[in-house]
Amino acid sequence: MPIIDNELRDHTIYALCYPDKEKYFYVGVSKLLDERYQQHVGAKTGNMEKDLIIRAIKSKDKLPRLVILEDNLTEDEAYKSESGWIKRLSKTGHKLTNRTEGGKYPHSVRLYNRIKKRRKYKRK
């Protein structure tokens, strides 16, 4: 793995894609791409929408394609760029199943969105 400025560049941004078309349905970051892909296609991941798409693809004896969007990134670069890929692909018509906007602390995005919704309901 390349090391620049004492930072390991071992992160990859990837997308899961339908096998027969250039339509992405998930964007992620990983250091261990093969293992991460097997996690996606091998079991329920807790993301029901993505799991249903993968199950439908597998029912046709196919697997989702894994597309590398960027590689040789530091952890910080990868998480910053992941958010950009999610926004960019969403704006260009890809129906992504990502439950967050990406980034290093995606759980905080989910929490922020929940709090925002609660505040909206309280105002009504």
All structural domains of the chain with their residue ranges = 7-123
pTM for the full model? Answer: 0.77
Q: How confident is the model at residue 112 (pLDDT cuts 50, 70, 90)?
A: very low
Q: Please give the mean pLDDT across all residues of the chain.
A: 84
Could you report the per-residue pLDDT of 92-105, keeping only the tens digit for each?
A: 999 999 988 776 65
Least confident of 4-18, 25-39, 74-88, 109-123: 109-123
**Per-residue pLDDT at 6:** 55
Of the options 3.30.750, 3.40.1440, 1.10.1740, 3.30.2420, the CATH number for the domain spanning 7-123: 3.40.1440
HEC-encoded secondary structure of the chain: CCEECCEECCEEEEEEECCCCCCEEEEEEECCHHHHHHHHHHCCCCCHHHHHHHHHHHHCCCCCEEEEEEEEECHHHHHHHHHHHHHHHHHCCCCCCCCCCCCCCHHHHHHHHHHHHHHHHHHC
